[in-house]
Amino acid sequence: MSHADPSADLSADRLLELFASLSDEVTEALRGLDDWSPSGAKPGQYKHDVVADDIVLSGLGEVGLAVLSEESGVVGSGPITVVVDPVDGSTNGSRGLPWFGASFCAVDADGPWAALVRDLADGQTFTAVRGQGWAWDGGRWPKRPGRPSQCRQLGSALVSFSGLPRSHGGWRQFRTFGAAALDMCAVATGSFDGFVDTDRAHGVWDYLGAMLVCQEAGAVVTDGDDQDLVTLDHQARRAPIAAATPELLEQLVTMRLGWQ
């Protein structure tokens, strides 16, 4: 006796609605959370990571979706896998720094399909669907460009880094904010001109949703070590680099290669 796959009828719009609803649930749960200390279960994990992960796994599992989560690994199987970081920038959250978010990206046989990244501190939300564009709700601070900058020269660029730059690369200014998904989405909106992972520190949950947002917004993304960024291997680590233009991306890649 066969059983219908409940995920088979999910559209991209329905997935985005589900991701938004789960982000709302996570936001409400974290607002009521008093203890943001380490969980003690594994290095780098906090109690708010566990709370958020439980909400996300339950909601995605109810509709038959496979999940690849930073906190839980791979759960379930099926034609659609949702790559999720329930709280990206967990250390920021634990310290009361308002730059942490939730990232979802549905992956089908053709790759990243539908993504949502939510800033859990101020509510801004980024969504994207493969081949259909992107959208951005600016939250409390909507007065930003709302599109990738046209920056083509590193010497004019404001660059966000994950990890420590080995030397000055010639940028105009830099920032290190500590939440890759939000940092990369800020390239899509023009707040940053580029983003660089300096030390191959990220799992696919950190960047995949933001990668689709950037691509649909017209920004460009690659891996600093020339590896495929689309992976469903929980152990894999990548070095995503995002830029407003192909010219700037080339300069950022060259800069990072010079540090190796």
Residues 62, 118 within the same domain: yes
pLDDT digit string, tens, across residues 193-206: 999 999 999 999 99
pLDDT digit string, tens, across residues 18-31: 999 999 999 999 99
How far is Cα 88 from Cα 165, in angstroms, rounded to an integer?
A: 21
Crossing angle of the two packed helices 180-189 and 204-217, in degrees rounded to 10: 10
Residues 6+ apart with CB under 8 A from 147: 188, 189, 190, 217, 218
pLDDT reported for residue 145: 74
Residues 199, 234 within the same domain: yes
In whole numbers, what is the pLDDT of the chain averaged over residues? 94
Residues 133, 91 within the same domain: yes
Residues 127, 183 within the same domain: no
Residues 171, 78 within the same domain: no
Q: Is residue 114 in a domain?
A: yes
- Entry pTM: 0.94
pLDDT digit string, tens, across residues 15-63: 999 999 999 999 999 999 999 999 988 888 999 999 999 999 999 999 9
How many Cβ atoms from other residues are within 10 Å of residue 3's Cβ?
6
pLDDT reported for residue 138: 79
Q: What pLDDT band is residue 130 in, cutting at 50, 70 and 90?
A: very high
> 105 near 212, Cβ under 8 Å?
yes
